[in-house]
Amino acid sequence: MSAPFAFLHLTDPHLTPEGAEPLYGLDPGARLALAVADIARRHGPQGAAPASFAVVTGDLTHNAEPEAYARLRAILAGMPCPAHLLLGNHDERDVFRAAFPNAPVDARGFVQQAVDTPAGRCLMLDTKAPGTHAGRLCKDRLDWLAARLAEDQGPVLLFLHHPPYRVGIAGMDQIPLLDAEALWEVLAPHRARIRHLFHGHLHRPLSGSWRGIPTSSLRGTSHQVALDFAELPAVPGSHEPPAYALVRATAEDIVVHTHDFMDASGTFDL
Ligand SMILES: [Fe+2]
């Protein structure tokens, strides 16, 4: 059996500028800094489970100010591994690219990249669309995905902010990935080698599958979406604990460990 390849999944940090008013009563930067410190302790090179990189699946900032991206950059400097950043509906591509000029982009300037790993080729997609909180994958972005899928026939892990399915929480189901059918047309010929789809956007721990592709998401590192299936006029928020995930992948399996990094309940020997 091959040794696990480990990486981290974080999502929806919703950073605000240093010194900004609290967001829903908390400081998203302070929360992310706690996550990074916990990661440095547990998943750095000397930790019990070193991670090769982190993927942050979007909503990097809440209002996309340059100062919020600068704060993100400063906090992520404490990461013990590289962080691959995806855009969410709260982000602005141009502002992000100005703050992270070395972030990989595709030929059209979308924040998309392929990262080859022992667990498979990680394809990271840009679902940001101007003027809406829903997600889009236009023909240019899907052409990039099709080309990346065509040039390598190995296993694939997908990452994107918006999920391609509805989850039953009314306010979130109004702003999913709107181009799910077009995405499926690109993915379907490769279905057998797509191992997992990691997404953000929902600020909730959940897992399942989409047309046979295993999926997972998790709580954001800041505020959360409440588990409420009523037809509410707004997205229901909550202050459930924030989390990040450690993903361990071998050739045979993928295990996603969700970790509530602010939990202080203690441990003991069973
Ligand atoms: Fe979000």
CA 85 to chain centre: 8
How is residue 94 written in tokens? 């141009």
Strands 120-124 and 156-160: parallel
269 Cα–ligand 1 center, Å:
37
Give pLDDT, residue 109.
98
Number of domains into which the chain is organized: 1
Give pLDDT, residue 3.
74
User: Per the domain annotation, does 138 fall within a domain?
Assistant: yes
Give pLDDT, residue 48.
87
Give pLDDT, residue 2.
61
- pLDDT below 50 — which residues of the chain? 1
Which CATH number does the domain housing residue 176 bear? 3.60.21.10
CA 35 to chain centre: 14
12 Cα–ligand 1 center, Å:
5
Model confidence, pTM: 0.98
User: Per the domain annotation, does 222 fall within a domain?
Assistant: yes
108 Cα–ligand 1 center, Å:
25
User: Per the domain annotation, does 63 fall within a domain?
Assistant: yes
52 Cα–ligand 1 center, Å:
25
User: Per the domain annotation, does 269 fall within a domain?
Assistant: no
User: Per the domain annotation, does 266 fall within a domain?
Assistant: no
User: Per the domain annotation, does 265 fall within a domain?
Assistant: no
Tell me which H or E stretch contains 159.
strand 156-160
Domain extent, residue 151, equals 5-259
User: Per the domain annotation, does 268 fall within a domain?
Assistant: no
161 Cα–ligand 1 center, Å:
9
